[in-house]
Structure 1
Amino acid sequence: MESLSLTELDRALLHALDIDGRASFARLGEVLGVSAHTVARRYQRLRAAGITVVGSLEPRRIGRVTWFARIHTVPEAAGAVAAALARRDDTAWIRLASGGTEIICAVHPRDESHRDELLLGKLPRTPQVASMSAHYVLRRFTTARTPKAWLRALSEDQLAALRPAAEESGGDTQVLTEADEAVLAVLERDGRASYPELAAAAGTSESAVRRRIAQLRGAGALTLAPAVDPARLGYAVSAHLWLNVAPAELARAGAAIAAHPEVPFAAATTGPSNLIATIQCTDTDSLYRYLTEEIAALPGVHQADTAPVVRTVKRG
C-alpha cells in the first residue's frame, strides 16, 4: 500500500486519536497547541486518505473468548478461503502469510456452538484446507493502550492530558443489548459519528447513548482509535511470531515482549506455541535485528516460528 506523506502535526493527531478517538477537536487542539479548526482540517485530510477512527470491542469484556487459527491450504485456494472467512461476523482479522499458503485469523465466536461450527465443522471439512490448528487465548499481555512504534509523536505531558478520557483496563463484563449493537454498527464505520446519528440508529435518546458509550469505554469493552495500516506510516514489514516458552517463564516473557514498541499484540495461548505476537518493523533488516536481539533476550524461549505477512484480507 502507498505510504502517506504526513506532517509532524498529522502524526501527533494520529497519536492523540489513538489515545482518545472521540476527543473533541477543541480538546485535541488544546493538547497539540493549534486551533480546533486546524485539527478538523487535518482530520478531514486523514479521512480523505482512508484513515478513520473506528470502534472495536474487547471480546473478553463482553463475555466472548478469542481463538487464533493457523490454516494451511493448497496454494491456489488461500485467497478464496480467506475471503469466505472475512464475510463472517465472528472473524476479527485475517492475514495471508508464509508465501500466501497460510491463513492466520482471529475468531471471536458468540458461543460454543458457533465455535464448534467453524473450528470443528466447516474448516476441517473444507477440501482446500490441508491442515489447521486452533489456539485459545489464555491471557493478553498487550492492551488497546499499548504504545505503538509508528504512533510515537506526543510528549508524556500531552499523553497525560489525554488519558483521563481514555478507556480503563478493567470492569464488569458488559451484556450487549440490541440498542448497543445498533450503535456499535455505526461506530465500526465511523468512531466519531455524532450522538444524534447514534441515537437515531439505536432508537433512543442522545443522553442514553452518551452514558452507554462512556460505560463501555470505562469497562474497557469499547476502543475508539484510528484504523491505520502501519505500512502507510513507514512500518512495512509485518510478521506473526509463535514462541515456545518454558511455563515458568511465560508471564515474564509475555510482559517483556508486550513492552516492545514493535509489538501491537501479544498473548499466552494453548498449544505447542504458548506465546504469540504480532510484529511490525520498518524493513527486513529491522525484523532480523528484532528477532536476533529482542526475541533472543526473552527468558525461557525454546523455539521461535516466524510467519511473514503477505497480505491483510480483513483488518480488525
Structure 2
Amino acid sequence: MEFDEIDRALVHALQVDGRAPFRRVAEVLGVSDQTVARRYARLRAARALRVVGFSDPAVVGDDQWHVRLRCAPDASVEIADALARLQDTSWISLISGGSEIVGALRARGRSADEMLLHRLPRTPRILDVSAQEVLHVFYGGAREPFTKQGALTEEQVQRLAEHVPAPGPAPRLDDVDRHLLDLLRVDGRAPVEDMARACGTSASTVRRRLHDLRAGGLLYLDVDVTPEVSDLRLRSMLWLTVAPAHLDAAGRALAAHPEVPFAAAIAGRANIYASVATTDAAGLYRYLTTRVAALPGVQTVETAPVIRTVKAAGTHYPVR
C-alpha cells in the first residue's frame, strides 16, 4: 500500500487528537473534508490506521506489567496469537528469531496473579516466564499518546491540541460511561449519534460524557499505525540496567529522544524498558552508540529488533 504526505499528516493529526472532526483536520492540513474522510476510510479499511480508546491505568487502579516469554520455536506464533486475543494485553511482539514473545499486560489483584502465576507458567511449550511491573512511565501511553516525529508543523500540532480537553477531576463512572468506554475500545472514533443510540441517551449527553472522561484520564485515545506509514520501520526493544542514583535522569533523558515512543522504569534486573523506532539496523546502531551511550549511569544494555508485531495497542494482526 502506498502512503503520501496527506496520509502521514492525517495519521499525525489523529495522534494529536484521535476524535478531531474531519472538518478541523482538513482545515489544519489545507485540504477538503472529503479528502480527509476518504483517506481515513482507505487507511482504516487496509488496517493501516485505527483509533482505539483506553483508560489511564494509573487513574483506574490497574497494574501494568512488562512480560517476556521464552517459547519452543514451533509454538511461539500460536502462543503470541492467543495472547493477542486477550482484552488486557497490548504490544505483543515476536523477537529473538521468533522464539521469544514480549508484550504488555494490565490487570489488577487476582487477575494479574492468575495470569502471571498460573496460566502462563502452565501453558505447554512456554519454557520461561519473566514479568516486571511498570513502576513509572517516562513517556508514552496515556501521558503522551502522540508521535514525536510526524508530518505536521509545530503550529499545526498546536491548532489541533488546543481542542483536546484540559485535565480535570475524574468523574464517577455510571453504566452509560462504562458502555461508552466499551464502544470506544472497539472504535475510538465511533460517531456520537451511534453511541447515543447504543447507550439509550442523547447526543449532547454523550458529548458531555466524552469531554469529562477525557479530561479525567478515564479515556485516552491511542492510534495503531502500520510502520510502513513512516520511514521509521524498524521497531526495537531496549532494556537498560541503570545505577539507582541515575535512574530518573536516564529515564527522562531517554524520554526526550525522538526515537523513543515509550519508556518506563520497571522492576527487575533491567530497570528501564523502552521501545525504539529507527529507519533500519544501521540507524539503530547509530542510536545505541550516540544517544544511549551518553545516558548517565548505564551499566548494561540489551536490544532486540521486533520480527513481527502480533498486536499493537488494540489491533490484533492474526498470524496467517
Under a length normalisation based on structure 2, what TM-score does the superposition of the two structures give? 0.90
RMSD: 2.0
2:63 matches 1:47 = no
Give the drift of 1:137.
0.7
SS in structure 2 of the partner of residue 240 of structure 1: strand
- The structure 2 residue matched to 1:67, chosen from 65, 68, 87, is 65
Aligned partner of 1:275 in structure 2 is 272
Unaligned runs of 5+ in 2: 314-320
- Residues 263-287 of structure 1 show CA distances to partners (whole Å, capped at 9, x for unaligned) of 1110001111110001111111101
In structure 2, what is the Cα distance between the partners aligned to 1:88 and 1:146? Answer: 22
Separation of aligned partners in 1, 2:15 and 2:165: 11
State the distance in 2 between where 1:230 and 1:255 align: 25
Q: 2:98 aligns with which of 93, 97, 100?
A: 100
Separation (CA, whole Å) in 1 of partners of 2:145 and 2:20: 19
Which whole-Å CA distance do the structure 1 matches of 2:269 and 2:27 have between them? 49
2:12–2:146 Cα contact (<8 Å) kept:
no
Instruction: Give distance in 1, aligned partners of 2:233 and 2:219.
Output: 28
Q: Distance in 2 between matches of 1:45 and 1:84?
A: 28
Say whether the 8 Å CA contact 1:141–1:254 is kept in structure 2: yes
Quick check: 1:206 aligned with 2:203?
yes
Residue deviations 1:19-65, cap 9 Å, x none? Answer: 11111122112222223233223322323332232223322222212
CA deviations over 1:128-178 (Å, ceiling 9, x no partner): 1211111111110113536535x421111111111122255x554565444
Q: Tell me, what secondary structure is at the counterpart of 1:126? A: coil
2:82 maps to which residue?
Answer: 84
Q: Which whole-Å CA distance do the structure 1 matches of 2:70 and 2:115 have between them?
A: 15
Q: In structure 1, which of residues 221, 230, 237 is the aligned counterpart of residue 218 of structure 2?
A: 221
Deviation at 1:240, TM superposition (A): 0.8
Q: CA deviation at 1:225?
A: 4.3
What letter is aligned with 1:52? R
Distance 1:142 1:171, change over 3 A: farther
For 2:168 and 2:237, the matched residues in 1 are separated by 30
Matching residue within 154, 159, 162 for 2:152: 154
CA distances 1:77-119 after superposition (whole Å, capped 9, x unpaired): 212222222222221231111111111111111x211111010
SS in 1 for 2:294: coil
Report SS of the residue matched to 1:268.
Answer: strand
Task: Say whether the 8 Å CA contact 1:63–1:175 is kept in structure 2.
Answer: no
How far apart, CA to CA, are the structure 2 residues paired with 1:188 and 1:266? 23
Residue from 120, 137, 140 that aligns with 1:140? 137
Worse-superposed segment, 215-224 or 94-103: 215-224
Say if 1:45 and 1:127 are closer, same or farther in 2 by CA, change over 3 A: closer
Are the equivalent residues in 2 in contact too, given 1:167–1:223 (CA < 8 A)? Answer: no
Q: How far off is 1:71 after superposition?
A: 0.9
What's the TM-score, normalizing by structure 1? 0.91
Q: Which of the numbers 118, 124, 129 marks the counterpart of 2:115?
A: 118
Per-residue CA deviations over 1:212-253 (Å, capped at 9, x if unaligned) read 211121123322243202244232211111110111111111
Greater shift in the superposed pair: 201-210 or 287-296:
201-210
CA–CA distance in 2 between the matches of 1:54 and 1:204? 22
**Which segment is superposed worse, 131-140 or 78-87?**
78-87
- Aligned partner of 1:293 among 290, 293, 301: 290
The residue correspondences of 1:242-257 to structure 2 (distance < 5 A) are 242-257=239-254
Identity %: 48
> Shift of the alpha carbon at 1:14?
1.4
Asked whether the 8 Å contact 1:17–1:23 carries over to 2, the reply is yes
Amino acid across the alignment from 2:131: A
Runs ≥4 residues deviating over 6 A: none
Asked if 1 retains the 8 angstrom alpha-carbon contact of 2:94 and 2:100, the reply is yes
The residue type equivalent to 2:156 in the other structure is Q
Tell me the SS of whatever aligns to 2:139: coil
The count of residues paired between Structure 1 and Structure 2 equals 310
- Indicate the structure with greater helix content: 1
Q: Is 1:190 aligned with 2:176?
A: no
Instruction: State the Cα distance separating 1:259 from its structure 2 match.
Output: 1.1
Matched residue SS, 1:89: coil
Contact 1:55 / 1:188 at 8 angstroms: preserved in 2? yes
Distance across 1 between alignment mates of 2:95 and 2:246: 28
